[in-house]
Each structure stands twice: as structure tokens, then as C-alpha cells.
Amino acid sequence: MSLENPDKKGCPPEGKTSQPLNPELVGVEFKKGARPAEAIVRVRRPRAFKRIAPGYFVARPEEIKPETELGRITQRVKRFFIGAPLATSDEGHQRLTKFKALAIFGSDPISSSAYASEAAMAILLVAGSAALGISFYLAVAVSALLMMVAFSYRQTVHAYPHGGGTYTVSSENLGRMPGLIGAAALLVDYILTVAVSIVAGSRAITSALIVAGHENLVNSFPPVFNLVVILSLIFIAIMTLGNLRGIRESGTIFAAPAYFFVASMVIMLGTGIYLALKGNLHAAELPPPVVSTQPLTLWLILRAFSAGAVAMSGTEAISNGVPAFKSPESKNAATTLTIMAFLLGAFYLGISFLATHMGLVPGEETIISQIALAVFGHNIIYYIFQLATIAILVVAGNTAFADFPRLSSILARDDYMPHQFQFRGDRLAFNTGIVFLGTIAAVLVVIFRGNVDSLINLYAIGVFLAFTLTNSGMVVHWRRLRSPGWKRSLIINAIGATATSIILIVAVLTKFASGGWIIVVLIPLIVMGLLRIHRHYQNIARQLRVVPEMPPEPMTNQLVVVLIESVNYASLRAFSFARTINAERVVLHVATSPERTEKLREKMAQYAPDFKLVIIESPTRSFVEPLMAYIDAVHSQSPAAFITMVMPEFITAHFWERFLHNRTANHLHREFEKHPNVTVVMVPYLLQR
Amino acid sequence: MSLENPDKKGCPPEGKTSQPLNPELVGVEFKKGARPAEAIVRVRRPRAFKRIAPGYFVARPEEIKPETELGRITQRVKRFFIGAPLATSDEGHQRLTKFKALAIFGSDPISSSAYASEAAMAILLVAGSAALGISFYLAVAVSALLMMVAFSYRQTVHAYPHGGGTYTVSSENLGRMPGLIGAAALLVDYILTVAVSIVAGSRAITSALIVAGHENLVNSFPPVFNLVVILSLIFIAIMTLGNLRGIRESGTIFAAPAYFFVASMVIMLGTGIYLALKGNLHAAELPPPVVSTQPLTLWLILRAFSAGAVAMSGTEAISNGVPAFKSPESKNAATTLTIMAFLLGAFYLGISFLATHMGLVPGEETIISQIALAVFGHNIIYYIFQLATIAILVVAGNTAFADFPRLSSILARDDYMPHQFQFRGDRLAFNTGIVFLGTIAAVLVVIFRGNVDSLINLYAIGVFLAFTLTNSGMVVHWRRLRSPGWKRSLIINAIGATATSIILIVAVLTKFASGGWIIVVLIPLIVMGLLRIHRHYQNIARQLRVVPEMPPEPMTNQLVVVLIESVNYASLRAFSFARTINAERVVLHVATSPERTEKLREKMAQYAPDFKLVIIESPTRSFVEPLMAYIDAVHSQSPAAFITMVMPEFITAHFWERFLHNRTANHLHREFEKHPNVTVVMVPYLLQR
């Protein structure tokens, strides 16, 4: 181009005129007041789209292949671990059968039977071995409470077919704050469940290894990443990946261990009770009787009751997960809930019965192991049973993986948690919640170096807080609705609310000093956080909502500033881009060397005479500060002026070459990121090899 | 706004017309073929600028105040450690006097006198104590070589007044590869110098602490961060900060320890020689004579010579740093070089003389300490002398801090290193080189846990490689120039080249197994890296250089795609921005929920009827992939079309709120970062609290 060409406004010549855009791809033009026009020229379709209507396409994910080799490998790895993407319309096919749902939602409560009766007995033991006699009656009471809770949740499941966890029920019936308190308690509990149950499983494995004489192997790991931590992290990773594959596949993956435990338990308890009734069941080795150190007070019994009642943790899961069931959702969920409660109650009662029958005392060996030894003898079946116990402990964490993401997605929907928790990944799972849960649990495991006993204390408070809130909420619900039979339901829930609130008080009082205070402090903090997020989203929604009477703030792109160091093909490209913007156009050069500036001035007159030139001499060689001062100067005189800064940016062929370029551009991007009236546009320039 | 308003092209109404831009700030309009116009309306000046001419400003850094409190604190901290910015024009004032230059450039060579003669003696010792007798004659030979090297560099200083290190001299006279080999050797050596000398100083301090009975203190540190490592890191940090303040201030800071050592040495050697000549000097305690294990071969003598000659490392520094001297640069540099060589030679000779005179044997106690003990006796003066030795060892590293950044800036200027090494910081220092050197040295210290003995072996090869190349280069230089007296100079440099190359061979052969191979492997790797960077920069410069006959690739901004999720004030702002671009304008919506899409369609007809609408239904809920497929589809039909993607971006009031927004925007930015025909523009929208 030359200066003699007056009709091209000083633009450099361009080699060829570029091809016109395909009108079909460009979309639909609005006719004033009318719906989009339908007549559009039909041309060859882009491969990855199905054209439904003019300007309306459906992306066909199977056609979208990454372009780079790295992209293809990444995709293949992702597909291998997570599976191919599922369409939103596939949701119905992703629902759970009762069989899988029991495995997913039941693992946590059912696994508690492995330790809950023992926990109650351990507390009674301070009143001496003789006091253990009442543990069977305590088990009856716990089972009764369990039935009550299960019954209450059955009602909830029917009343809230779209999922009625503590959060929903409390929010709707008791108000926002009780709902959030319940949600916070459950969020914490779910995280603890994953950490505690997976660590318990991993420790059972290392204990078995030590018993089998592999002590050296176990001790050969460094203390920070000991075998328990490593196994736990592996299990957490497997569980995270399994759940990212979608709730249905996670049901398939984790059903085996759950049913393996149920079957083992049924066989053991059945055989045990049969032998006991025949009088043929005796403990392998009875420990010496323990002498009482405290009298058997009501307080002690309440404490034991509260410890045993922890078995109910996770009962909530089903009521939250109703939408995950195959249709009819509520009915299937209620049935699954009943089966789960029945199994848990039966196991709890059975264990307590056999333990009191044989006069077992909790000690170094677990009660459940003592029973298995008495029933099966010291043989392969005993070890298989132990294996089943380990398996269910590990898999119990999976219940939280089904529940946490669901609860957080509901909270995100209601603007109480970041919206990304609502996003469903390739497999329709709530990816953010799953990854978040896995990460936090992994961090807890690493921080506590696999020694999470102290965390178990934190559980119970959250569980009973949630139960109390749900039951109270249901009481209000019945009073409001007065549907047929409401009085009976109300009474059941009122008794439930009273019982669970008493246990809650007992749990807070007994566990406060040994870590319970953390929960008492944590829940209000989480609630505050949830409220903070809510306020933010609400505030923004209010600000963004377009009110026809309130015109938007005026915004005109008044000044385009092209930043260049010298005139080269990359800057010519930036000029071309800037020319397409209707605004005052300026080339700005921060000058540090007079020769370079002079050269630039000459070349500018030759290649970009249609731009105005601003030169800022920077005596201290700084680049960003003078530029910011210039922008400030413009805004000090025209506060509303919108400024577009245009910079050429190099696209390099090799990764390492990036470190040789674009340093200033990146710096600039960061500096102006928070400026409301400035945007930085990088005009890419592809460097050949 | 309403659809009835035909003359506004469907744009939403704007509250007020924005103020016009200040024409003075906007810059100079080019008159065709003429120099920039001078007549421009004078308006109130922006504070941080001085207006020199129309469109020409000078940034006044003292006026540029950060706006935020954090920014102000950062600036104050920076000013405290680094000092106020210096203008490029201040460079002359930043030059070094001979006094300061000797401290900066001489610390490294002069400090070597503290250990070099001892190193030679240690090698001779395998031939028995008797062989030590020749160490004085060896010292004479080393001093002669030193004089030759110094003389050669004096010639270089005059021949290359803009700095004539090994790299420059070799490149100009021997060719590119020898130049780069020399540069690589020196870069490695400078890094080693910092690590080795600072660690040596730190170890001297901890040794002194142990002698003084503070062993518990020294051992109370963990092994990874032992006291030596911590002290070394502190010294490296001080040295890095000191040098960032500029070369002149670093001279002020580090002159005291250097001259303290010189003075102590002069007093000790003077007193020692006086006493020796009077026959009054005797070793405090003579060790038993060492029995010979090897005969005194020429090979052994060569090895001892090579060990002693390491004292010369750092001699190169002055010839590289000529431009840092006050005018007349060359003359001042040559004088400083002579003084430095004289001091080093005298110290080396003096120590060797006193050591052989008293028949000292290197052992647990250093030779220099033995001499000081004999001269001063065991009193306070002896300890002061020890302190001076420690001080110079630490400060010796500073020579590398003056040299490494300078050499790397020269390499960057020649496109062999990343250009940021050429950038001069606030205080005219080469910040990148200084920080790089400090960081690598710190990493070495931490990796080796302060046990850098093995690194000392790596030194010598680089030093003599550089000397050999410089001397050979100077031989070629004289042959080419044939300036008066060239024959004499040529002979001196030829002898120098021969001597240093023999020592180089000896050093490689003797030190190859004990780590020298690392250097032999490393130097070619570094050279390859330098060449790679050079090829890249050259390639790019060639691609970017505007050739008038070759018009730039056509670039027209053909399509503007505004990406929105819903119609709100932020998207209205994005529409306003997009309207200022002359291109086909499209609003693109990735649809995951039919209700939302329908709502969007209605609002679009109301608020942005002048845009075309493209809807892409995404069955798998992915956002980026359908978008990329769309862009690909457009490019598959119009390959050269430039596409501007516009997205609203929220500027949040609090830091934590950032995590609640803009996730997609950031993701998109990354995805399209490497696309040559797409740019992503974020239109900022300020959210109120």
C-alpha cells in the first residue's frame, strides 16, 4: 500500500477478499415484532451439528473430536474412567432400581450395625460387666427409635417426592434458618462419613495384614503417607471416579460389597440364633469380668443409647435421593427405606442378643468378631466374614457420595452454594460436589494421618440435629395439611422429635469436650457462609434483572488503544482489527529508546496513517504504570468512556517458547482485569515454526 | 426502548450521552506524507504526565501513586528494599568508581587467595611433606600466569570498551560456537561461585560458633534447613536485594567487607614477612611430617598448578563490566584490573612464602589460619582476621551478581537468552538476571543441604575454558588488526592460551570422574538451549519484519459472537460493545433448558432485535465443545474469517465472590488462547456490593 491510495483510508492492501460467511451459520434475523424468519438458504451442514430450524442447531457430541493428539488422549482417558457423555434426556434411564438403591443408600446405615451395638456396650461397661445385661433392652429401644425415624422418613418420602431431606422439610415447615442449620450439619456429616468409614476399612486391612505376619510391609511406609493413608486415598479416588460415572453405575460397582455383607450377616446371625436357642453357642474365650467403676445411672443409659443410636446415621439418605429412583419414585424409595430399616434393626438386635446371650465383653477384639468366632470357629468362613465387614466399611462412604452432591446441588439451586454445584457432568452426576467431597475427605485423611478416631465423636451431633429438625418439621407439616390420618402421623413425629432431641442434647453434653465443640462452632460458620453466598447471588440477580423502565447505563466504546512496541506484521494485524471498531483510534507507544520511537513514528506514517499516535516516554522504563496513568487521565476527563486496548499476541509453536513472549500482555491483562471501563483484546498472531 | 423507534437501529436507549474525549489525550493525527500536526487544543493536563508536544507525554513516575491501600503498601515495601526508580538518563551517575569497582569485581579473585595456595599444597602433599618445598616456586608460576591473564585482559579492556568478556572476544574472533561455549561455561561458573562462596562463608560462621561452644545451637536446626542452609539463604537474599538496588549501591554495601579483608591481609603478610626475615617467625605447632605415597611427578606438579590457578577465577569479571565504570571506562577498568591482579598475586605469593618458610602442612586447620596464629598469636587480632576471611568469602559471591546479569543481558541482546534478561529494573539493574541467579543458587544450596564441596570441582573447568577461549580469541584479534606492537601482544596471548589450555586439559582429566563430567555434559546442553532460543527469535523477527512488497495476510473482523446465558444488564452491555464492531453480529446461546431458551428468545426480540440469534442445543450440557464446533464450522466454510467472541464478565466487590462467577469465561479464554483467528473479549460489568 502507499500513501497515494486515498480511497482505502490508508489501510494496507489485503491479498484476497475473504470468503463470505455462510448465512445459515450466522443465524436468524429478527423481524420487528415477529418471530424469527424461516427462509434461509440451505448449504452443506457442519458435521458436528444437526440443523433443526434456521439458526437452531443441536450439537452432536459424538461428532466432536478433539483436534490435537493430546486432546484425543485426554478424551480417551476421560472416557475410560468416566464413560461417554450422557444426554440430559437419558436421565430416566439413569434411575436406580430398589436393588441398587439399597446398596447405595443403605451401605452407610447397615454398616453401622458392625460397630454401633459395641459402642453402646463400651459405655455400659463402666458400670461393670453385669450392666451389659441391659444392652439387649437398649437394642430394642434403639430399634424402636429406628423404626420411628424410618416411619417418619417414609412419610417424608411420600410428602416430598422431589426429595425431602432435612433441608427441604425444615425450610418448608420451620423456616429458612432451621433448614440451613440442618443442611450445614449434614454437609459436615457426609464429609466425616467418607473420611471415617474409608479409614476404618483401610485400618481393618492393615490390621489383618499385621495379624497375617506382614508387619514389616505395613511399617515400611513413611509416617506421613503410611499404608492406611495410601489405602484410604486409593479408595477415595476409586469412589470419586465411580460416582463421576453416574449414580447408576456407582450402584453397579458398589452393590457387590454391600450384599456380600448383608448375606454374611444373615448367615452368621441365623446360624448363631439357631445355635443359641439349641444352647450350643458359647464364646471362644471369655474375658475376666469387669468391675464397676460407676453406678448404672439413667445418664449412663442415655449415653449408651445415644452411642447406639448413631447406627441410624445415613437413614436420611433415601429421603433426599427420591428423584434418583425409578418411577414410581416415592413408592420405590419408601420400600427401600423399609427394607433398609428392617435389615439394620434386625442386625442390631441380633448382635445385641447374641452378645448378651454369651456374655461377651467389648475389648481388644470386636464384639462382631467374637460372635463370628463363636458361630463359625477359627476357620476360612470366619475370615470371609471379616472380609465382608471390611468391604462394607469401605463402601459405606459411598452413601455420602450419593448424598452430599445431591444436597449441595439443592443448596446451589436455592443460591446458598456456588452455582457450579448444580452443574451435571457428562454422566449426569453432580461433578463439583463429588470432586469437592472426595478432595476434602482426602485432605482430612492426610492431615490426620489416617487417625480419624477423634472425628467419630463429631458425627452424632449432626445426625441427631438433622433427625430432630426433620421430625419437628413433619409435625408442623401435619398440623398445616391435616390430611387424612394426620393426628396419628403427628403423634409419631412428635415422639420422634422428642426422642431425637433428647439424644441430641445427650450427644452435645457428652461429646462437647472431646471435639463436639468443633461442630457447635462449625455449623453456625457454615450457615453464615451459606447466607453470605445467598445474599451475593440475590444481590446480583436484583442488579442484573432488566427493568424496562430503567435503561441500562450508557456504554459506548469510545477509544481504541492499540499498544505496540514496533511496527511489524503482528501490529498490522492489530491495526486491522482496531479498524473494525467504531471509535476514536489511537496507537500508543511507551517509549524507552529514542531511536526506536523515531523508527516507529516513521513506519506509522507509512503503514497506519489513519491512526492517531500517542507516545509516552517512560524515563524509568516501566510499561504498565504510564499506561494506567494514561487510562486514568482519559477517565478523569470522560469518566464513562469505554476503552478497548488492543495488543498483538503471539501464538507460539512450542510450549517453551511461550516464556519468550507475551510477558507484558499477560501482565496487562491482570492489571486491567478489575477495571469496569477497560477491556484488553489480544489479537492473535500465529508464528510459524 | 421499544420496537417503534426505527432510527436507533434497535439499540437500547442510553441515559445520557457520554462526554467527548479530550482531543489532547487522543493524540496526533497524521497528515499524509507530513510530520504530525502540532496544533492541538490545550486542556488541563493529566497529573502524571508532562506534555512535551502534541501526543507526546513523559510519564512522571513520582506522580504515579497506586490506587489501592495494598498497592501503596507494596510500593512502600519495594521502595524500602530496592529504592526509588531511577531514570534511564541517570545511568552515568550510576557508574562505579575504581574504589567500588575493585570491591565488586575483585572480591571473588582476591578471596581465592584464602584457599588457592592451600589447594595446591594439598595435592603436593601426596609426595610427602618435603615436596611442599616447591610450592613457593609453583606460586611464582601461578602469579606469572595470573599476570599474563591480567595483561591479556587489560588488552581486551582497551580493545573492547563496551565490555569484552569471553563471549564477546570469542564470538568476534573465533566464531559463534566458541563464543557460546565460553558464555555457557561462565554462566555455570557464576552460579557455582554464588553457591560455593556463600556456603563457604556460612560454614565458617557455624564452625566458629562450634569452636565458641555453641554446638547445641548449631545442631538444634533440622537437617534439611540446617544453620548453614539458613545463613546461606539469608546471605543470598541480602545479595539479591543489594544488587536489585543497582550496581553502585551494591558497591557501597559490599565494599566494607572486601577492604576489611585486604587490610587484614596486608597487615598479616607484612608483619609475617618482616618477622620471617628477622628469623622470628615460627609455627605455633608443627604437625608430624607426612610420608610420601607417590613420587613427585610432572603430572602431580601440573595438577597442583591447576589447583592453585583456580585463584584466577573471576578475573574475567572486570573485562565484562567495562561499561559499568565511570568515564574513561577502559582506562579505569584497566587500572582496577591491574590493582586486583597485583593484590591477588601478592597475597598468593606471600602466603606461599610464609607457608614454606615455616614448613606448614595443610591439615585440619587452614594454612591461612596457621599463618595468622604464628603472626598474631592466639588473641583478639587473630579472631578479627578470621572474621575478615569469613566476610570476604560471603562477599565473593557478589562478583557473580555483577557479572551474571551483565553476561545474560548481552546474550539476550544477541537473541540467545529470553529478552526479559535485557530489561533493566527500577534501579537500572538487570533484574531478571539477578533474581534468576539468586534463585538458582538458593535452590542449589537447599538441594545440597549446604554441602557444596562437590561443586567446587566443577569450577575450574569453566574458568580455564573461558581463559583459553579469550586468549585464543585475542591471538586472532592481533593477527587481524596488526595494530602497533601487535606481535608482542600476540606472543603474550599465545603463551597465555597455551598455558591455560594445558591447565584446562589437566583440570578435565583430573576432575572428570569427581563431577567434572557434569560440566562436560552441561555446557553443550546449555549451548543447544541458547541456539534454540536464538533460532526462535530470528525466525520470528524474519516473519514479523514488514516487507513493503509483501502485503500482510488479509484480516477482517467478520463475525462478532456475543455469548449469553440470559438477557440481563450485563448482556445488554455486551450488546452495546458488540454494536461498535463493524461485522456480522450474532448472539449465541448454548441451550440446556428449553424454558430458559424460550425466555431468551423473547427477550432478545425485545432488547436486541438488531442481532441475529444462533441457538445450539447441547444435549450433554457441555458448553465449550459445541461452541468450538460452531467456530470450526464457520472456519470450515470461511477459513480466514476472524471471529470476536464477546462475553459479559462480572467484576465482584470481594475476592471470594470471584469463585461464584466467570467460570465459563475463564475456561473459554484458555480454550481459545491458541486459536489464530479467534479472540475472546470480556466486557466487564461492575457488581455493586
Predicted pLDDT of residue A316: 82
Predicted pLDDT of residue A24: 67
Beta bridge partners of B612: B586
- Grid coordinates of B322: 567495562
For B427-460, the pLDDT digits (tens) are 888 999 999 999 999 999 988 887 776 777 777 8
Nearest residue of chain B to residue A48 (CA atoms)? B629
Predicted pLDDT of residue A35: 36
CB contact under 8 A, B22 and A638: yes
CB contact under 8 A, A687 and B543: yes
How far is C-alpha A398 from the geometric centre of its chain's CA atoms? 13
Least confident range from A50-54, B214-218, B427-431: namely: A50-54
Per DSSP, helices labelled H in A127-246 are 135-159, 166-174, 176-211, 215-219, 227-244
Nearest Cα of chain B lies from the Cα of A39 at a distance, in angstroms, of: 14
One-letter amino acid for residue B333 of the chain: A
CB contact under 8 A, B86 and A36: no
One-letter amino acid for residue A339 of the chain: I
Instruction: Find the CB nearest A568 among B1, B546, B588.
Output: B546
Using CB atoms and an 8 Å cut-off, which of residues 582-611 of chain B contact chain A? 582-584, 586-588, 590, 592, 601, 603-605, 607, 609-611
B499 pLDDT above the threshold of 80: yes
CB contact under 8 A, A625 and B556: no
Nearest Cα of chain A lies from the Cα of B658 at a distance, in angstroms, of: 10
Cβ-Cβ contacts under 8 Å, B425 against chain A? 621
Contact by Cβ (8 Å): B96, B248: yes
| Burial status of residue A216 (CB atoms within 10 A of its CB: 0-12, 13-18, 19 or more) | exposed
Task: Give the Cβ contact number of residue A632 at 10 Å.
Answer: 16
Cβ-Cβ contacts under 8 Å, B64 against chain A? 625-626, 628-629
Measure the CA–CA gap between B98 and A92, rounded to whole angstroms. Answer: 85
Instruction: Find the CB nearest A586 among B26, B588, B611.
Output: B26
CB contact under 8 A, B612 and A418: no
Instruction: Find the CB nearest A569 among B424, B544, B610.
Output: B544
For B183-205, the pLDDT digits (tens) are 999 999 999 989 988 988 888 88
B182 pLDDT above the threshold of 90: yes
Confidence at A537, pLDDT banded by 50, 70, 90: very high
DSSP notation for B654-665: STGGGGGS-HHH
Cβ-Cβ contacts under 8 Å, A82 against chain B? none
Nearest Cα of chain B lies from the Cα of A62 at a distance, in angstroms, of: 10
Kindly state the average pLDDT of the residues A492-520.
86
Kindly state the average pLDDT of the residues A12-32.
54
Instruction: Find the CB nearest B16 among A15, A554, A610.
Output: A554
Nearest residue of chain A to residue B587 (CA atoms)? A27
CB contact under 8 A, A58 and B557: no
Three-state SS annotation for B593-632: CHHHHHHHHHHHHHHCCCCEEEEEECCCCCCHHHHHHHHH
A663 pLDDT above the threshold of 80: no
CB contact under 8 A, B551 and A12: yes
β pairing state of B584-591 and A49-53 = unpaired
Cβ-Cβ contacts under 8 Å, B610 against chain A? 30
β pairing state of A56-59 and A49-53 = antiparallel
Nearest residue of chain B to residue A5 (CA atoms)? B32
Measure the CA–CA gap between A72 and A85, rounded to whole angstroms. Answer: 15
Nearest Cα of chain B lies from the Cα of A251 at a distance, in angstroms, of: 21
Contact by Cβ (8 Å): A278, A357: no
Nearest Cα of chain A lies from the Cα of B444 at a distance, in angstroms, of: 23
Cβ-Cβ contacts under 8 Å, B32 against chain A? 3, 10, 609
CB contact under 8 A, A46 and B629: yes
CB contact under 8 A, A12 and B539: no
Using CB atoms and an 8 Å cut-off, which of residues 505-564 of chain A contact chain B? 533, 536-537, 539-540, 543-546, 551-559
Confidence at A533, pLDDT banded by 50, 70, 90: very high
pTM of the model: 0.79
* Count of CA atoms in the C-beta half-sphere (13 A) of B232: 34
Kindly state the average pLDDT of the residues B596-621.
86
Closest CA to A371 of A357, A390, A392: A357
Confidence at A350, pLDDT banded by 50, 70, 90: very high
Nearest Cα of chain A lies from the Cα of B275 at a distance, in angstroms, of: 57
Using CB atoms and an 8 Å cut-off, which of residues 72-91 of chain A contact chain B? 85-89
Predicted pLDDT of residue A323: 86
Beta bridge partners of A645: A561, A680
Output b/e per residue, B108-119; b: 16+ Cβ within 10 A. Answer: bbbbbbbbbbbb
Measure the CA–CA gap between B184 and B189, rounded to whole angstroms. Answer: 9
Predicted pLDDT of residue A83: 80
Kindly state the average pLDDT of the residues A3-15.
37
Instruction: Find the CB nearest B57 among A46, A616, A681.
Output: A616
Least confident range from A253-262, A306-315, B453-462, B494-503: namely: B453-462
How far is C-alpha B563 from the geometric centre of its chain's CA atoms? 44
Contact by Cβ (8 Å): A173, A474: yes
The alpha carbon torsion through A144, A149, A150, A155 (nearest 10 deg) reads 130
Measure the CA–CA gap between A189 and B364, rounded to whole angstroms. Answer: 64
- Grid coordinates of B676: 489464530
Nearest Cα of chain A lies from the Cα of B583 at a distance, in angstroms, of: 7
Nearest Cα of chain B lies from the Cα of A162 at a distance, in angstroms, of: 19
C-alpha distances (whole Å) from B352 to each of A555, B110, B246, B270 are 81, 15, 37, 13
CB contact under 8 A, B576 and A558: no
Measure the CA–CA gap between B524 and B565, rounded to whole angstroms. Answer: 55
At a CB cut-off of 8 Å and minimum separation 6, what does B306 contact? B460, B464, B503, B506, B507, B510
CB contact under 8 A, A637 and B546: no
Cβ-Cβ contacts under 8 Å, A675 against chain B? 651, 684
Instruction: Find the CB nearest A13 among B3, B551, B679.
Output: B551
Backbone φ and ψ of A110, nearest 5°: -60, -40
Predicted pLDDT of residue A688: 77
- Grid coordinates of B283: 609455627
For B396-420, the pLDDT digits (tens) are 888 899 889 999 999 999 999 999 8
Look at residue B588 and give its three-state secondary structure.
Answer: strand
The alpha carbon torsion through A442, A443, A446, A447 (nearest 10 deg) reads -150
Predicted pLDDT of residue A657: 79
For B91-122, the pLDDT digits (tens) are 777 788 999 999 988 898 888 887 888 888 88
Nearest residue of chain B to residue A21 (CA atoms)? B638
Instruction: Find the CB nearest B612 among A28, A554, A622.
Output: A28
Confidence at A9, pLDDT banded by 50, 70, 90: very low
CB contact under 8 A, A18 and B558: yes
Average pLDDT of every residue of chain B: 83
Q: How many CB pairs under 8 A join A and B?
A: 410
Nearest Cα of chain B lies from the Cα of A514 at a distance, in angstroms, of: 32
CB contact under 8 A, B577 and A555: yes
- Grid coordinates of A672: 486491567
CB contact under 8 A, B30 and A604: yes
Nearest Cα of chain B lies from the Cα of A564 at a distance, in angstroms, of: 13
Predicted pLDDT of residue A19: 59
CB contact under 8 A, B577 and A637: no
DSSP notation for A547-563: -TTSPPPP--EEEEEEE
Secondary element (H or E) of residue B647: strand B642-651
A486 pLDDT above the threshold of 60: yes
Measure the CA–CA gap between B41 and B59, rounded to whole angstroms. Answer: 20
- Residue A665 forms contact with B (CB below 8 Å): no
How far is C-alpha A231 from the geometric centre of its chain's CA atoms? 22
Cβ-Cβ contacts under 8 Å, B58 against chain A? 616-617, 619
Predicted pLDDT of residue A15: 39
Sign for the CA dihedral angle at B363, B364, B369, B375 comes to negative
